[in-house]
Amino acid sequence: MAAPMRNVDEIRDRVILGEFGVRNVHSTDFPGNYPGYDDTWDLRKFKKNFRLNIAHMDENTLEFDMVGIDAAIANAFRRILLAEVPTMAIEKVFIYNNTSIIQDEILAHRLGLVPIKADPRLFEYRNAGDEEGTEIDTIQLQLKIKCTRNTRAAKDSSDPKELYLNHMVYSKDITWVPIGNQADVFGDSKIGPVHDDILLAQLRPGQELDIVMHCVKGIGEQVAKVVNSRLDTCSREVLRHDDLKNLVKIGRVRDHFIFSVESTGILPPEVLVSEAINVLIAKCQKFLTELESSEME
Amino acid sequence: MAAADTEKKRVLEMVQAAGADEGCVTFVLHEEDHTLGNSLRYMVMKNPDVEFCGYSITHPSESKINFRIQTRGGLPATETLRKGLNDLTDASKHVLHTFEAQVKEFKLKQEEAME
C-alpha cells in the first residue's frame, strides 16, 4: 500500500471524491502558486508526460485515454467534437408535391435530421446569400414516391403491407442527383443517407411525395441537426461501502481523461477526432493572423 | 485602442482603459465561446509574466467573449496573447501527432491479430 500523498501533491494532482461532494476541482498548477514547483508552460515537459492510449476502435466507436493534459484543453476537444466538426446535412427542401398526411414543415424537419453520407472535407461552405448553390458546396437529393393499391392482394386482407405498394417512405428512397462534375468526382462513392431504414412518412393510395433537397456543409453550432458524434468523457466510478468510508479516501487523477466517441456514420471516429483537433488549431491560427494584421496598422 | 473597421467584420478587438499601460488589455473575441476561451485562459495563465487572466461571456445570446490579460513588468499584453495562442497550437499539434501515430499502431496490431 503506497504511503499517503503529501498534501501539496494531493491538491495539485487529485480531485477528491467526498461522500457528498467533490473537492479540489479546479486546476491550480499555475506559476507562482506553489513555491518550489516550476509550473511555467514547457512544451518539452508536456511532450514527455503526455500519453495517449487507444482502448478500443471499430468503425463507429472509439475509446481512448489521454493522460497528462489539462481539463480545459480536453474539454475544448469535447466541445468541438460535439458541435463544431463540419458535416453535410439537408438544409433546403423544395416541396413540389406533398399530398401525404405529414405536414410540409414536419416532413422538412424530419428530412433535415437524416445523416447524409458524404465526406464534408471534399466540400466548401456555401457563401451567404447564394441561393442556387454550385457543385462544390451542394449535394442535390431527390425523393419521388407514389403509393398505389396492390391489385394482386387478397380480397379480405387487412395488412397494409399486402394491400398497398410504397406505403412506407424510408430514407433508402432518397436518391442522389449529381450536379455539374459531381458524377465524375464522386462516381464511385454512393452519396446518400447513412442508414436506409429511417422511416420518413407513411402514405396511402393516391398520395405522393415529390421533393428536391439541397444538402450543404454546416457545423452543429449553427445547425442543431448536424451533430456528428455523441461523446462521453468521464472517469470511471469507484464503488464505496458504508463500513469503509472513513478508512478510504477516493480521488481521481486530475489529468487522466477517458474519451469515448460514437460517430453517426458519416465519418469514422478517428477522423472526427483528428478534425476536431484541427479545428482548434485553426481557431488559434485565425486569431494569430488577426493579431498580426492589426499590428501592421 | 478599439478597432473600428466597418468594411470587414472584426473578430478581434482590443479595449484599453484611458491612462492604463500596454500591460492591461481586454480583448473582445467574436464568434467564440468557452471552447477557445477556457483553453486559451489556461495557456496564458501558465505564463509567469501574466499577473491576471480571465474571460467572460458577456451575454449568452451574443457569441463573443471578453478576454482580459494583465501582465507584470510592463510587458505588452498582445505578446502574452500571442504566446498563449502559439503554445495552444503547439500542444494541439502534439496531441494530433500522438493520436494519429497511436491510431496507425492500433490498426497494425489489429491486422496482425487477424492473421
The CATH number of the domain holding residue B43 is 3.30.1360.10
Concatenate the DSSP letters of all residues of A61-115 into one string: EEEEEEES--HHHHHHHHHHHHHTS-EEEEEEEEEEEE-SSS-HHHHHHHHHTS-
Cell output for A211: 421533393
> Cell numbers 441537426 correspond to what residue?
A225
Nearest by Cα to B41 from A120, A68, B50, A207? B50
Least confident of A61-70, A110-119, A242-251, A288-297: A242-251
Inter-CA distances, A254 with A80, A139, A195, A233, Å: 21, 45, 39, 13
Residue B101: pLDDT over 90: yes
pLDDT of residue A236: 39
Task: Please tell me the distance from the alpha carbon of residue A61 to that of residue B64, in angstroms, as a whole number.
Answer: 33
In a domain, B114, yes or no: no
Residue A79: pLDDT over 50: yes
> Cell numbers 439541397 correspond to what residue?
A214
Domain spans in chain A, listed from the N-terminal domain onward: 10-83+224-295, 87-219
Task: Please tell me the distance from the alpha carbon of residue B90 to that of residue A74, in angstroms, as a whole number.
Answer: 15
Cell output for A267: 465519418
In a domain, B23, yes or no: yes
Class of domain A87-219: mainly beta
pLDDT of residue A262: 82
pLDDT of residue A106: 94
In a domain, B36, yes or no: yes
Higher pLDDT, A246 or A160: A160
Least confident of A60-69, A79-88, A177-186, B3-12: B3-12
CA of B61 vs chain A CAs: smallest distance (Å): 13
Among A79, A281, A286, the residue with its CB nearest the CB of B35 is A79
In a domain, B104, yes or no: no
Residue B63: pLDDT over 90: no
Q: Is A289 on the interface with B (CB under 8 A)?
A: no
A10-83+224-295 CATH, one of 3.40.50.11540, 3.30.1360.10, 3.20.20.10, 3.40.50.1010: 3.30.1360.10
Put simply, the chain A residues between 245 and 284 with a CB less than 8 A from any chain B CB are 270, 273-274, 277-278, 280-281, 283-284
- Percent over 70 (pLDDT), chain A: 84
Residue type, A8: V
Number of domain units in chain B:
1
pLDDT of residue B95: 92
Residue A251: pLDDT over 90: no
Domain boundaries, position B19 = 7-88
In a domain, B48, yes or no: yes
pLDDT of residue A296: 67
Among A69, A273, A283, the residue with its CB nearest the CB of B36 is A283
CA of B69 vs chain A CAs: smallest distance (Å): 15
Q: Is A47 on the interface with B (CB under 8 A)?
A: yes
